[in-house]
Amino acid sequence: METKRLYRSRTNKIFAEICGELGEYFKIDPVLIRLVWLLVVIFTGFVPGILAYTIAFFVVPAKK
Protein backbone atom coordinates (compact mmCIF):
# COMPACT_ATOMS: atom_id res chain seq x y z
CA MET A 1 0.00 0.00 0.00
CA GLU A 2 1.37 3.35 -1.03
CA THR A 3 1.32 6.12 1.57
CA LYS A 4 0.25 9.64 0.67
CA ARG A 5 2.85 12.35 1.14
CA LEU A 6 2.30 16.07 1.38
CA TYR A 7 4.31 18.14 -1.10
CA ARG A 8 4.12 21.76 -2.21
CA SER A 9 2.20 21.90 -5.47
CA ARG A 10 3.90 23.19 -8.61
CA THR A 11 0.69 23.61 -10.61
CA ASN A 12 -1.93 24.81 -8.12
CA LYS A 13 -0.31 27.78 -6.47
CA ILE A 14 -0.92 31.40 -5.69
CA PHE A 15 1.60 32.00 -2.94
CA ALA A 16 4.06 29.37 -1.68
CA GLU A 17 1.94 26.41 -2.93
CA ILE A 18 0.79 25.30 0.56
CA CYS A 19 -3.01 25.71 0.29
CA GLY A 20 -3.10 24.29 -3.22
CA GLU A 21 -1.40 21.09 -2.15
CA LEU A 22 -3.54 20.76 0.98
CA GLY A 23 -6.55 20.86 -1.31
CA GLU A 24 -5.07 18.18 -3.56
CA TYR A 25 -4.05 16.04 -0.56
CA PHE A 26 -7.50 16.11 1.07
CA LYS A 27 -9.38 16.20 -2.28
CA ILE A 28 -11.00 19.54 -1.44
CA ASP A 29 -11.19 22.62 -3.65
CA PRO A 30 -8.08 24.72 -2.81
CA VAL A 31 -10.20 27.88 -2.88
CA LEU A 32 -12.06 26.61 0.19
CA ILE A 33 -8.76 25.92 1.95
CA ARG A 34 -7.59 29.44 1.13
CA LEU A 35 -10.82 31.00 2.42
CA VAL A 36 -10.69 29.02 5.66
CA TRP A 37 -7.02 29.94 6.09
CA LEU A 38 -7.85 33.61 5.53
CA LEU A 39 -10.61 33.50 8.16
CA VAL A 40 -8.34 31.74 10.64
CA VAL A 41 -5.64 34.37 10.12
CA ILE A 42 -8.09 37.25 10.50
CA PHE A 43 -9.79 35.94 13.64
CA THR A 44 -6.74 34.56 15.46
CA GLY A 45 -4.31 37.31 14.62
CA PHE A 46 -2.04 37.85 11.68
CA VAL A 47 1.26 36.90 13.30
CA PRO A 48 0.37 33.28 14.30
CA GLY A 49 -1.24 32.57 10.93
CA ILE A 50 1.60 33.99 8.89
CA LEU A 51 4.15 32.25 11.12
CA ALA A 52 2.40 28.88 10.67
CA TYR A 53 2.25 29.38 6.89
CA THR A 54 5.94 30.30 6.78
CA ILE A 55 6.91 27.25 8.82
CA ALA A 56 4.82 25.03 6.52
CA PHE A 57 6.59 26.53 3.52
CA PHE A 58 9.99 25.51 4.88
CA VAL A 59 8.93 22.11 6.28
CA VAL A 60 6.83 20.74 3.40
CA PRO A 61 9.10 19.65 0.51
CA ALA A 62 8.47 20.67 -3.09
CA LYS A 63 7.32 18.13 -5.66
CA LYS A 64 10.08 16.82 -7.86
Reported confidence tier of residue 4, pLDDT bands at 50, 70, 90: confident
| Helix spans in the chain (H) | 18-26, 30-44, 46-59
Mean pLDDT of the chain: 82
Q: What is the pLDDT of residue 11?
A: 67
pTM summary value: 0.70
- Over residues 24-58, the pLDDT tens digits come to 888 899 889 889 988 988 998 888 888 888 898 88
> What pLDDT score was predicted for residue 13?
63
CA angle at 43 for the pair 39 and 49, rounded to the nearest 5°: 75
